[in-house]
Structure 1
């Protein structure tokens, strides 16, 4: 065997070892990334879709008065205690009075609760209110009528940047979920691929945004005034590069925290 052939074989063996090592590394990173992206473990057997239930006597609620009418949603402090506490304290302080609906996304959802119409936080805002660690739960989903705290930032180490992990935070602004269009193809895919057949059926029946699942903290579910949620998501807008800002000033006039009773709801 000539030296040239020996050298070529040696090169092939070295490259094979390098490629094999890279393949192992990529497989490990992919598995870690998939685990990080999953965020929480979902157990279909123990899942309880509480958003499908009527509020119970004494449950905390938010009564939201807007330019386009009033809607009410039940709060879930038992599942999202920190985000609900942040929202409740801000509401009770009057923070949300005369704040803006600053995004209206093509019938799918709207975003509200910002002091400025462009959706940006004003100079000198309380940063602690925008750093509530995200809370996810297998019982809470972005069904139509869900109220979700918008993510504000993510804290990641170098390793987490590589693997897709990190700690996410949400703040004072919130999303009001209407729905995307559910085509027959989409419905079939959901029924076939969803971790829970009951969950897929709930999305198909109620509407919502499945792609938002386990991405943001759900703080409540609208039980009255769903037509207002629909209107807020369908406003005439102009884009600023980040948000689709309503052309007219659409305001959150006030938010009142109360308790649910059968007598006044």
Structure 2
């Protein structure tokens, strides 16, 4: 798909993987709308890359509807959606305190929050963006109208202790990818997902050097944390390559956690 001149929406676009993706798309001549709760960072980045920023909570139907309406009025209907908004938490399903012996379980409201953000929020943006893309004329003889890229995680297939909410929400994104690609096949809208490993994002910015080294050394090759720009490069290629459809791809340096 020819990217130059297209409009993209990047959720979670003010920092981390989303910021790198917004920058990479803008470098390809794409008009980028940033959806993020951090208005200050989003607006600063938008000014830098010549895009626009909107304060959007992807767990809210109203907020997402308003965000898309504002972005489309400002930059035009998007042909590209990259879903980077999300977060994790760490609780064991049930556990016993080593000192007191007290038994506790995963706070159910915290499980729900992660699933509503990572999985339902991602699907909310996909469904609303796809409906908008369907109003566009095809770009080429294949009938291509647009492309959607979502962020899952290696935890989707290799979740660790304490990651029940995060891993299941990211596994849901993997599970969505192929059915949605098939749902939208007649409309010329492609759907893919990236499963990043341990990436050097703001989450690890304040981590102790010894922890960062330990995490980097756990990666077979290259022995380091992944760069956000490497994620962005793959996201851009998924947008550009018209035969890339219905795929979920690891980006993890061969780590199997």
TM-score, normalised to structure 1, is 0.26
TM-score, normalised to structure 2, is 0.26
Structure ranking higher in strand proportion:
1
The one of the two structures with greater contact order (alpha-carbon pairs below 8 A, sep at least 6) is 1
The structure that has the greater radius of gyration is: 1
Structure ranking higher in helix proportion:
2
